[in-house]
Structures are given as structure tokens and as C-alpha cells.
């Protein structure tokens, strides 16, 4: 008997910023580079994503605000603080 694998869960929680960027910009970049291969389009998207990410990082440093730096460990610790051991 064959069984289905357990879903990895999350769905939207596992979507990266890069994936969102590619989905939002792929068609536009493909039209701008008519006739280009898929690899060239993805390379262009990657370059633009890195440039936009660097621009956002530089702009957050200049205005005195801290970017959200909650790490996975911080999320786990927060989750443990919520757990109650009482019956």
C-alpha cells in the first residue's frame, strides 16, 4: 500500500521575498527581453531583486529605523514563553 507524504505545511509562510518578486515581475521582464531564454530572464530578475534589496537596506540605515531582525530562534523562544506547563 502506498501512502501520501506528509505535507511540509505553511504554504504562504514558506514563500520567500524572491519568489514574490519573481511572480510579480516575470512577465514584464520577459516582454522587455523578447526572444531571450528563460535563463537570461531569471538572471535579470535576480540582478534586479538584489539591487532592490540593497536599495531597501541602504534606505533603512539612513533613516534611523531598524529593520525587523526577529530570527527563527527568537520565534521559538517566544513560542516557548507562551506554552503553559500547568494542568
Reported as a single tens digit per residue, the pLDDT across 43-59 is: 999 999 999 999 988 87
pLDDT band at residue 7 under the 50/70/90 scheme: confident
Residue 5 lies in a domain: no
Sign of the Cα torsion 29, 30, 31, 34 reads positive
Residue 42 lies in a domain: yes
Rounded Cα distance, 21 and 16, in Å: 9
Domains contained in the chain, number: 1
Range of the domain at 33: 15-63
Residue 79 lies in a domain: no
Residue 37 lies in a domain: yes
Residue 7 lies in a domain: no
Residue 46 lies in a domain: yes
Rounded Cα distance, 84 and 77, in Å: 13
Cα-Cα end-to-end distance for the chain: 40
pLDDT above 80: residue 18: yes
Residue 83 lies in a domain: no
Rounded Cα distance, 25 and 20, in Å: 9
Rounded Cα distance, 72 and 5, in Å: 25
Residue 6 lies in a domain: no
Amino acid at each position: 500500500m502506498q501512502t501520501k507524504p506528509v505535507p511540509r505545511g505553511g504554504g504562504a509562510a514558506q514563500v520567500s521575498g524572491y519568489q514574490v518578486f519573481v511572480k510579480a515581475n516575470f512577465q514584464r521582464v520577459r516582454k522587455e527581453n523578447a526572444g531571450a531564454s528563460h535563463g537570461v530572464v531569471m538572471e535579470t530578475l535576480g540582478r534586479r531583486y538584489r539591487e532592490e534589496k540593497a536599495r531597501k537596506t541602504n534606505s533603512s540605515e539612513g533613516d534611523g529605523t531598524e529593520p525587523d531582525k526577529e530570527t527563527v530562534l527568537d520565534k521559538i523562544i517566544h513560542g516557548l514563553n507562551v506554552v503553559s506547563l500547568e494542568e
